[in-house]
Every structure is written in structure tokens, then in C-alpha cells.
Structure 1
């Protein structure tokens, strides 16, 4: 009985040794692979492959992509893994023209910056050129418009930033369907009313309105025009409603005012 037990244990010894050898080999292979992976990572991080190769800006319309890249502080000298994309996004979100920015790493070593710009509400006339006016009141003096595309109203004679900002706030809330009717807006302040505006509409009418409650008053413009028989003339819109008169009637009224002043 004791001999059978001894033989049984002796039979198992080679199998135990073989199992230990295989386990040792597997462990060795694992450590060797881990070692080569770590070496590869170190070599990769030190090689040009780990540095930014290209920065692609998408979603922009009037903001210069070079300016966006400069604001991100990213370049080909920056390791693609040396920064957090969230931090770059925070930096870009501080740019006055940008509402939101998203930064993504693109395999193997490219960066994509996707931006959403603030809405353009008008163009400001400055000499012979026009510059976009954004919804936050900032004028993009780096984006000069030579040929007007008719995609936003043109603003003239706004020499006071306070009143320009007030109008901007109104234009932000103005329905786009109404804004599309407006061609030009002139600031015509008087001693009694510094908020006075004159609008030239794409359908041939002129509108006299106030910066105050401009958006609410102009929302009734289509309804007012639909009730008119004349193809053009002047519509004065105010708190009390709307008054229509022809250009001749307006000119006659101005002549009377001039004579009374004299």
C-alpha cells in the first residue's frame, strides 16, 4: 500500500515540474511583452510621431482659423498627449467670437477644433467697408466686407456705442423673417428722441421707429404692409400703433417744420 502511494507521487512530479515550467515561461513572456510595450511608448513619446502634425479648424465662417489656432496655443511643437482637451476648449470659449469649441485628437497625431460662432446680427458701416456685428455687441474689425451679400441689415451713422449696443440687444430677439426684410438702418437721433431710427426695407418701404421696443414693434411689420395699397412710402411704428404716409407728405411735413422754426 505504501509502495503504491510512493509511485503515485513520483508519477506526479514530472507533471508538476512541467506545469511550473509553463507557468514560468508565460510569466517571462508577459514581462518581456510589457517591457517592449513600455519601451515602444517611450520611443513613441520621444519621436516626431507623438507631436502634432496638423490642426484642422471646422465650423468657422468669419473667424480666421489662424486666430483660433493661435488662441488654442497648439502647434507642431506640442506633444499631442501633453494637454487636456477640456483646458484648450476653455481657452477657446473665452474668444469673443466663439460660442463653443470642441477639441478632438485624430489618429495618429492630428487635432480637430470644431467651433460654433456667435450669430451675426448686422454689418456696421465704417468708411467704404462693412464689418460684422455679433450678438454680444462686438464688431469684427478683422473681417472686412467689401461686397454686401444681403444676409444681414447694414447699420449707418451709429457713433455712440451705447445706442449701438441697445439696438444689438433688440436685433438678437428680432425674428429672422423680419430681419430679412431690413436692408439698412440709420441712427437719426434728435434732441427730443435720441433713440430714433430710419429703416430702408427690401420691399421699398421706409420705417421710422425707436430703438426702444424695436423688436416688438417690428414684429407687426408684415401685418401692417399687408393692409397698405401703396407700393412704397413711410411707416412710422411706435407704442401707439403705426402711421403711414407717402414721401411727399413727409417732405411737406418737414417743410412746415422748417418754416415754423424760421
Structure 2
């Protein structure tokens, strides 16, 4: 019995040595791998490879990529790991047209700036110049441009409480109704300082008032759907809602005026 046990142990000695050797080799490989990983990390952090290589801006329409990147302060010399989200977002949000910013980091060296701009709800017309009016009531006097087609034009309006109230009404309008408006003229009367004359893209004219403009104008699509599209006129939305077609005399007078203006 004792002899058999000795034989068995002797047979296992090479196996034990082989297992020990394999274990030592695995440990050595692990140390070597860790060493090279540390070297690569040092090289990465000490070289331009850790700087921002790709900077993407998305979601913006009016503020250019160049402006946003300049506001962010980020360049290809900025370390990817030193970018502070809150600081960058605060810098970009200082622009009056930008409502919010979301910064995302994509390893190893890409930064994405997702921009949400404030909506342009109207434009103020002043001596053939058009100044955007934002949803918060701010008028961009430095951003004049050509005749706009993405929001209604405000005619005979001045900056102040009046226009702020008008903007508040416009922000409550459904987008499809807002986009249907061409011009909004401030046409105060003896009985209503807040009276409006609104010209629509489909050729109708609307007589309304500022105070309940959003509520009344939200009915516009349903009102127009019941009218003969070949007969244009004025849709009254001040107190009661009704439609009055242009008279022949008015149409003739408008035609004469247009002809005179083209001469």
C-alpha cells in the first residue's frame, strides 16, 4: 500500500511542476500587459492624442457652428479630460438665441454639443429691416436680414409692453397656425387700442385684438374650412366670429392702388 502511494506521488510531480510553471507564466504575462497599458496611458495623456480631435455641433439653425464653438472656448488644444460640462454649457447659453446646451463626450477624443435654440415667433419691420423676436420677448437688433418666411412680420409695433403681450400670445399658438400668418399690423381704434389687422398666407384678412388673440386664432383653420376659398374677405374675431367678403368697390380700390404703386 505504501509503495503504491509513493508511485502515485512521483507520477504527479511533473504535473505539479507544469501547473506551477503555467501559473508563473500567466502572472508574468499579466504584469507585462499591465506595464504596457500604463505606458500607453502615459503616452496618451502626455500627447496631443488626449486633446479634442472631433467637435460636433447639432440642433442649431440660426446660430452658426463657428459662433457656438467660439463661445464654448473649446479647441483642438483642449484636453478631452479637462472639459467641464457645466462651464461650457453656461458659456454657450449666454447667447440670447440659445435656450439650452447638452454636452456629450465620446471616448477617446470627441465632443458633441446639442443645441436648443429659442423659437423665433415674429419679426419686427422697421425701415425695410427685419429684426427677429424670440419666444421670451427679446428683440435681436443685431440680427437683421432679408424678408423672413419662417414667422409673421409685426408692422407698426414698438418695443415695450405692447409687443411683449403680443409675443406671449404668439407663443401659445399652434405652429401650423403661426406659420399661416404673413403679417400682423397694430391698428388701434378709438374703442380698442389693442386692435390688430392680420394678413394670412392664404389671402384672408383677420380683424382681431391682442388680449384673446391665441384663443381666437386657434379657431382659424376650422373657420376657413367652412368658407369658399374663391371668395376672400375679412374674418372678424374680436367678440363674435363672422366672415365678411370684400365688396366689389373695395376690390376695385385695392386694384387701383396696386396699379398705382407699380407705376
2:37 corresponds to 1:61: no
How far apart in 1 are the matches of 2:192 and 2:43?
Answer: 72
What is the 5 A alignment of 1:81-96? Answer: 81-83=81-83, 85=85, 88=88, 92=92, 96=96
Displacement of 1:227 after TM fit? 4.5
The aligned residue for residue 196 of structure 1 is 195
SS of 1:81 mapped into structure 2: helix
Check whether the contact 2:57–2:114 (CA below 8 A) recurs between aligned residues: yes
Alpha-carbon distance change, 69 to 142 in structure 1, aligned in 2, over 3 angstroms: farther
2:139 corresponds to 1:139: yes
Which one is further off, 224-233 or 117-126? 224-233
Check whether the contact 2:123–2:151 (CA below 8 A) recurs between aligned residues: yes
Displacement of 1:114 after TM fit? 2.7
Check whether the contact 1:217–1:239 (CA below 8 A) recurs between aligned residues: no
Unaligned runs of 5+ in 1: 250-262
Unaligned runs of 5+ in 2: 251-263
What is the 5 A alignment of 1:50-199? Answer: 50-83=50-83, 85=85, 88=88, 92=92, 96-106=96-106, 108-146=108-146, 148-189=147-188, 193-199=192-198
- Count, aligned residues: 248
Which one is further off, 203-212 or 105-114? 105-114
What is the 5 A alignment of 1:10-21? Answer: 10-21=10-21
Please give the per-residue CA displacement for 1:81-125, whole angstroms capped at 9, x wherever unaligned. Answer: 233657755765675433454433456523222323233222222
Displacement of 1:31 after TM fit? 1.0
How far apart in 2 are the matches of 1:75 and 1:192?
Answer: 59
Tell me how large the CA RMSD over aligned residues is. Answer: 3.2
How far apart in 2 are the matches of 1:2 and 1:175?
Answer: 97
2:208 corresponds to 1:209: yes
Displacement of 1:224 after TM fit? 4.9
Displacement of 1:47 after TM fit? 1.0
Check whether the contact 1:195–1:212 (CA below 8 A) recurs between aligned residues: yes
Normalising by the residue count of structure 2, what TM-score does the alignment of the two structures yield?
A: 0.77
How far apart in 2 are the matches of 1:22 and 1:224?
Answer: 86
